[in-house]
Structure 1
Amino acid sequence: MMKKMHSGLLLFAAAFAVFACSSCTILFGPDERETMMLPDEYRQAVDSAAVPNAWWTAFDDAQMTRLMERALGGNLTIEQAAARLRQAEAAVMKSGADRFPSLDATGDAQTRYTHTAGAGTSTADDFSLGLEVSRYEFDLWGRVASGHRAALAGLDASRFSLETAAMTISAETASAYFQWLYLNQRLAVLEKQLTVNRKMLSVVGKRFQTSSADALDVLQRRQQVIAAEAALPPVRASLAAAYNRLAILVGEPPQTDLALEAKALPALPERPDSGIPADLLARRPDLQREWALLAAADWNVSAARAARMPAIRLTGTLTTSNSDTDRLFDNWIGNLLAGLTMPLIDGGSLRADVARTRAAADEQLAAYREAVLGALGEVEDALSAETHQQEYVNTLGRQFEAAQQTATEAYRRYTRGLETYFEALAAETSRQNLEVSVLTAEYELLGDRIQLYRSLGGDWGAVLETVSQGENDER
């Protein structure tokens, strides 16, 4: 009994093995793509420190590192990208299953009642078991295999999309954190200036009482105090918004206590080595994603070309039936059926599909080249912006030092009656404005560095794996 059963199963297993080998053949492979010519170096390139994958560690700020780990592990944009990656993995499994026959088990049982006059009613039980293969394509030209390769390339694109999200969120988190520090520091500077202005108003008021100053001096100083008070509310509003943005970036409600400590902006680390433009192709996940999408588009062209060729599809069954359950497996009946389908007249539909997929691949090629050029431009812009912003910070710092000396001397001359109050007020106003300008310029310089780190890319797969491993260790 079991020998007959095994012989039937072996029949189907052998047939499946033969037909499954057809999935190894791909007649219409993708066209080779020419390598894009890139410049040998950047205009603003310098030899310096290598770019670490976790570039934020270069700022030596434990608070920032903690925020970055929370963002990479809990940001909802990254979670969405991770969910899309899981969807792509399932799609690949589904497309891979199409390369092999699908085998279903069937079963049936019924009871027949027969009534004979004078003899009563008799019953008979019938049972049947079977295996059934669904319609399976003998992949002679590689249509199914090409579709699977396209799905694999799509999976790569989804993985690089996840890494791109991490690259973007890390830059946004660092920008939000530095903005929060900057606004705290700016608020402290403005509050200090308000205190100074109030003290000077008191001094001018006393001089007015002794006829050493006129009413215009008092009114001008009072106006400056009011202006200093008016500058505080917008900064406080921006500070609250920056905190809320940080909380959302790490995947928490705005009301969450992030346990942040206000402190001075960090010093600018050593400028990273920009490498050569060709490095971007391997270090930028957004470029790798565009390349994977191009590969998927090319494989879709291959599948469309193969779809114009004749197709052989297989169906088969293996069944047994017997009313005697003891002999149910004694007799097996198996059959394999193959059918040939060849497109003859389709109104040009298949040819149009090939043309459509080719055009889609050409579009993706242009998108890839545009992304590469955009990435090169981002690095050049970031290098140039940091270079000139550093010059601006240095010049502004010297201007602020001169303004401090001018304000001190103008106030000294005013108190001695050598200058009018207008010159002293103008010098102090200039000094206070420059103090805020210097702080803002230093903050913007840090922003330029963040953009440089982001534009140079990195091994974001390793970064995400490290963060994931750290979360598992905490659990």
Structure 2
Amino acid sequence: MKNLALIILLGLVLVGCKVGPKYEKPEMQQPPKYTQAATSTDSITNLAWWEVYQDETLKGLIQTALDSNLNLLQAAARVEEAKATLGFNKANLYPMLNYNALGRAANFRDFAQDAGVAFSPNMLAVLGNVSWEIDFWGKLRRANRAAFAEMMAAEEARKTVYISLVAQVAELYFNLRGLDERLAITKRTHEIRLEYLDIISKRFEKGNVSELDKLQAQQIAAAAESQIYALERQIIYVENALNVLLARPYRPIERGKENQDQTLPLDIPVGLPSELLVRRPDIQAAEQRLMAQTERIGIAVAMRFPSISLTGMMGVASPSLSNLFTPEAVLGTVTGQLTGPIFNFGKNKRRVDVERARAVQSAYEYEKTVLTAFAEVENSLAEIRTYRNEFNARRVQKAATEKSLFLSKALYDNGYTSFLQVLDAERESFNAEFEKSVALENQLVATVRLYKALGGGW
């Protein structure tokens, strides 16, 4: 027993030795500020950003998605898997205790001999087995830290799915409300064009206009009708996409505010670029995966060195039950074992090379994730600025085309211009209103993308 204690104590003293590289965070060149930012550098870390729009229907859809979305549930299950894997690796750090009970009888010795089977004498035994691999080179500790980093990466990946899910629901919702608006515009335009067609047809019957005017009126009315069907089809597509995110079969999506009634934040605090590295979960996940891969290099290096393990057995054994728990029946053994590679044709060295190459890949992936994050923020800031300006320009365009249409109708009715000019003015008016709706939708979506690019308020 004393020898066993000394060996275990020696193992604990030696367990502090580790081989392999230490993790070093990659050096990244960071811009001092966002070039497209015209707002303050305050943080939005604690902001539930989708509440900015003050649309209760949108909030309800987002909450339903957060409760039911299959991708998010799958990501949560991966976190639980990573936690279980961490627990599995932690167990390897400690001694393992197993038990073994044996009962053997030779009551039928004569029958057994006739059958050609040899039995040993009666034996009863209760044994406990202890085995422990001393983590001399840090292999098990590195495996434990790699599992912990993978668990953290899985948690950050879950946050990424969360942020993406909220953004997808909001984007599709604004897309849906934009399509609703454009469908209403197109239906109204179709009704107006049918009125044109009716008037022109009556004038044609009276010989006041040429057949060309009638055909042109038919053409633009049919164009508006076909646009209605195309928009209805797109609405079904968007509703189906939303229902998939909500984890339910198709049903019409409930509507809240129209896009023109949504509250648009004028200034969104974007923070500093350096804050993005800790705010965005996909960056955190990439770094955790790099940490895990660095630990795996140490595991591979440790596998090139001998492993030290202790095994011990203690229990009682006796031919009779009455003597099983007497001092004479007690037995025990302690064994130390040293195993290591000698010549494996470079296999162990190549294992280290493989893990190092994977670590290089993980480092590049981390750098790419950071650069992509900076680019997404810059793009979103540019989108907000340009779509806001575009929307204002579209409003001016719409007002001008409405006045142009009014004047063209007056000139046509008094015989000063052709019906073609009226049609051109009407088409310009319709297109301007249509594009104004698209610009407003894009402006709303751009704010969603900025919040997502900034880390979604985590």
TM-score, normalised with respect to structure 1: 0.87
Q: Indicate how the Cα distance of structure 1 residues 59 and 115 shifts in structure 2: closer, same or farther if over 3 A, else same.
A: closer
Share of identical aligned residues, percent?
27
Give the Å deviation of 1:316: 1.4
Of 33, 54, 57, the residue aligned with 1:60 is 54
AA at the equivalent of 2:356: R
SS of the aligned residue for 2:417 comes to: coil
In the aligned structure 1, how far is the partner of 2:383 from the partner of 2:456?
A: 21
Tell me, yes or no, if structure 1 residue 89 matches structure 2 residue 83: yes
* Bigger mean CA offset, 441-450 vs 323-332: 323-332
Answering whether residue 139 of structure 2 is matched by residue 128 of structure 1, we say no
Match of 1:111 among 105, 113, 117: 105
Aligned match of 1:169: 165
Q: Separation in 1 of the partners of 2:338 and 2:245? A: 57
- 2:199 maps to 1:207: no
Contact 1:46 1:273 in 2 (8 A): no
SS at match of 1:452: helix
Q: Does 1:279 align with 2:275?
A: yes
Residue equivalent to 1:71: 65
Taking a change above 3 Å as real, the CA distance of residues 407 and 267 of structure 1, as seen in their structure-2 partners, is farther
Structure 1 distance, partners of 2:8, 2:255, is 63
Opposite residue 103 of structure 2, the aligned amino acid is A
Question: CA-to-partner distance for each residue in 1:137-169, whole Å, 9 max, x for gaps?
Answer: 111111111111111111111111111111212
Distance 2:171 2:15 in 1: 50
Offset, 1:90:
1.1
- Go from structure 1 to structure 2 and tell me whether the alpha carbon gap of 1:88 and 1:143 turns closer, same or farther (over 3 Å shift): same
Superposition deviation, residue 35 in structure 1:
3.3
Amino acid aligned to 1:229: E
For residues 32 and 406 of structure 1, the distance between their equivalents in structure 2, rounded to whole angstroms, comes to: 66
Aligned residues: 444
User: What is the match of residue 115 of structure 2?
Assistant: none
Matched position secondary structure for 1:112:
coil
Query: Does 312-321 or 342-351 show the bigger shift?
Result: 342-351
Q: CA deviation at 1:197?
A: 1.0
Q: Is the contact made by 2:405 and 2:426 (CA closer than 8 Å) also made in structure 1? A: yes
**Deviation digits for residues 54-91 of structure 1, max 9, x if unmatched?**
22111111111111111122111111211211111111
Which residue among 363, 370, 382 is the counterpart of 2:361?
A: 363
Write the mapping of 1:323-472 to structure 2, written as runs, cut at 5 A: 323-330=319-326, 331-458=329-456, 460=458
Q: Does 1:42 align with 2:39?
A: no
Secondary structure of 2:443's match? helix
SS of 1:231's partner is helix
Once residues 161 and 7 of structure 2 are traced to their aligned partners in structure 1, the CA distance between those partners, rounded to angstroms, is: 46
CA deviations 1:188-232 (Å, max 9, x no partner) are 111111111112222223333454433322221122111111111
State the AA in 1 paired with 2:25: R
Cα displacement (A) at 1:294 = 0.5
Which runs of no fewer than 5 residues in structure 2 stay unpaired? 111-119
Does the Cα contact within 8 Å between 2:157 and 2:285 map onto a contact in 1?
yes
Structure 1 letter corresponding to 2:397: Q
Stretch moving more, 208-217 or 74-83: 208-217
* One-letter amino acid of the counterpart of residue 199, structure 1: E
Is 1:263 the counterpart of 2:258? The answer is yes
Q: Distance in 2 between matches of 1:11 and 1:251?
A: 62
Q: Which residue does 2:233 correspond to in 1?
A: 237
**Are the aligned partners of 1:82 and 1:162 in contact in 2 as well (CA < 8 Å)?**
yes
Letter in structure 1 aligned against 2:414: R
Residues 1:445 and 1:18: Cα distance change in structure 2 (over 3 Å): same
Structure 1 stretches lacking a partner, 5+ long: 1-7, 117-122, 461-475
1:33 matched to 2:30? The reply is no
- Classify 1:201/1:336 alpha carbon distance in 2 versus 1 (closer, same or farther; 3 Å): same
Report the Cα offset of residue 13 of structure 1: 8.4
Code of the residue aligned with 2:248 in structure 1: it is E
Q: Given the superposition, is the C-alpha separation of residues 14 and 175 from structure 1 closer, same or farther in structure 2, using an over 3 Å criterion?
A: farther
CA distance in 1, matches of 2:264, 2:128: 70
| Residues 280 and 456 in structure 1, CA contact (< 8 A), matched pair in contact too | yes
Shift of 1:429: 1.4
For the aligned residue pairs, the C-alpha RMSD in angstroms reads: 2.5
How much has 1:94 moved relative to structure 2? Answer: 0.9
Distance 2:108 2:209 in 1: 127
More deviation, 358-367/306-315: 306-315
Give the aligned residue type for 1:390: R
User: Which whole-Å CA distance do the structure 1 matches of 2:258 and 2:39 have between them?
Assistant: 31
Label 1:389 to 1:459 Cα distance change in 2 as closer, same or farther (>3 A).
Answer: closer
Amino acid at match of 1:32: E
